[in-house]
Amino acid sequence: MSLLIDAIGELSTQHLTGEASPASGEGAGVLRDAAVVLEGERIAWVGRSADAPAADERYDAQGRAVLPGWVDSHSHLVFAGDRTAEFEARMAGQAYAAGGIGVTTAATRAASDGELRRLLAGRVAEAVAGGTTYLETKTGYGLEVGHEARSAALAAEAADEVTYLGAHLVPAGADPEAYTDLVCGAMLEAVRPHVRWADVFCETGAFTEEQSRRVLTACRDAGLGLRVHGNQLGPGPGVRLAVEFGAASVDHVNFLDEADVAALAGSWAGWADGGAAGDPAGTVATVLPACDLSTRAPLAPARRLLDAGVQVAIASNCNPGTSYTSSVSFCVTTAVLQMGLTVQEAVRAATFGGALALRRHIGADTDGQRAVGSIAVGHRADLHLLDAPSATHLAYRPGMPLTHAVWRAGQRMR
């Protein structure tokens, strides 16, 4: 079954180079009066509406804008419980500390499989309704072998990518060194069948540089791709470690010194933007604007990172403590209005940038899986149609419900 979506006023392909690129001649990855043909789960054709081939079905976009679906490369959706009181306290002036994770851990351990599965499915549905078509989520509220394995298995049922975050927090009462050993040993073994990635919260109050190094080494040796929560609450070794270990992404990055920015930029030396096949990807800096707002933290320096030549992703960090929203549209709006990005830069960071952070961009070794985060022939048919003539409206009309239709792997989701 094929579907022609035509009369697209503005098609933001985010596809800049490579053989499948349409010859647009209209600036970086944007086509006007465009059309797309979906065939099964893949994109079969991209070009001008006037040249579009026939298909089994037709959807008239009536001049609206189409972008790749959001690629949300950072979320924590497997949890139970509520942290409204902590949020209220923070808004009343109390500082955020990593310890609130323990509250969610207790509630998550107490929840049944069925309850967690229902909560997770509801959160994924909310994300998709907001235009997210490719979603990473993490463990990290089990913090015990059986509970981490359960979280990983449930996440694998619901999300596109699963990350092992046993190293989220040392549980109350546990010895930090012994717990780190567990994360690197029996817990890693238990989650391994369900996850592609591992992550560590390298921060004062969570895991030290030395402990983080042990976690990253063990997980890399187990064949997992690496990610790091780093430099969120203050300056620290997270960024440096992420680059040293060749992590796909370091996330938060609020407090960066010149050496951190230079290390990130250096990881992208030799990269041709757009990702021609074979270009080695470096370490993406993933900014989490909703989290910065929700913790009243200084916004991550996304503008400075882009200017330095670092590839940036925007993600929701949806979690019950510091960013209880999966709205990537809100994050994009914030990145434009408060972080100094242009609309095209922000949209790119939340689509192609997320794909880069998950190594699912075109040119990545994707185990035969289709590329996401950009619109080109052969990529997964993940489209976000706005009730607006251009992506600019995401920032120009902040907070408006602009998501009009969503296709995920060729399936109409909304």
Residues that bind Zn ion (CB under 5 A): 317
Choose between 14 and 334: whose C-beta lies nearer to Zn ion. Answer: 334
> Is the CB of residue 148 less than 8 Å from the CB of residue 115?
no
Q: What is the rounded distance in angstroms from the CA atom of residue 353 to the CA atom of residue 289?
A: 15
Choose between 73 and 317: whose C-beta lies nearer to Zn ion. Answer: 317
How many other CB atoms are found less than 10 A from the CB of residue 399? 9
Number of H helices, E strands in the chain: 15, 16
7 CB-side CA count, 13 A: 8
Minimum distance, C-beta of residue 3 to Zn ion, in the bound complex (Å): 36
Minimum distance, C-beta of residue 322 to Zn ion, in the bound complex (Å): 8
Alpha-helical (H) ranges within 161-278 are 176-184, 186-191, 209-221, 238-244, 258-266
Choose between 295 and 317: whose C-beta lies nearer to Zn ion. Answer: 317
Minimum distance, C-beta of residue 163 to Zn ion, in the bound complex (Å): 9
Q: What is the rounded distance in angstroms from the CA atom of residue 276 to the CA atom of residue 273?
A: 8
DSSP secondary-structure letter at 124?
A: H
Minimum distance, C-beta of residue 319 to Zn ion, in the bound complex (Å): 6
Choose between 151 and 317: whose C-beta lies nearer to Zn ion. Answer: 317
Which of 199, 289, 268, 276 is closest to 238 using CA atoms? 199
Minimum distance, C-beta of residue 183 to Zn ion, in the bound complex (Å): 16
Residue number with the smallest Cβ distance to Zn ion: 317
Which of 202, 218, 198 is closest to 210 using CA atoms? 202
Minimum distance, C-beta of residue 200 to Zn ion, in the bound complex (Å): 11
Choose between 353 and 410: whose C-beta lies nearer to Zn ion. Answer: 353
Choose between 77 and 336: whose C-beta lies nearer to Zn ion. Answer: 77
Tell me the CA distances in angstroms from 62 to 31, 388, 389, one per residue in order.
15, 10, 9
Minimum distance, C-beta of residue 317 to Zn ion, in the bound complex (Å): 5
Give me the residues paired with residue 226 across strands.
Answer: 198
Minimum distance, C-beta of residue 172 to Zn ion, in the bound complex (Å): 20
Type of residue found at 298: P
Q: What is the rounded distance in angstroms from the CA atom of residue 6 to the CA atom of residue 62?
A: 8
Helix (H) or strand (E) holding 156: helix 145-158
Choose between 232 and 351: whose C-beta lies nearer to Zn ion. Answer: 232
Three-state DSSP at 89 gives helix
Choose between 49 and 139: whose C-beta lies nearer to Zn ion. Answer: 139
How many other CB atoms are found less than 10 A from the CB of residue 387? 15
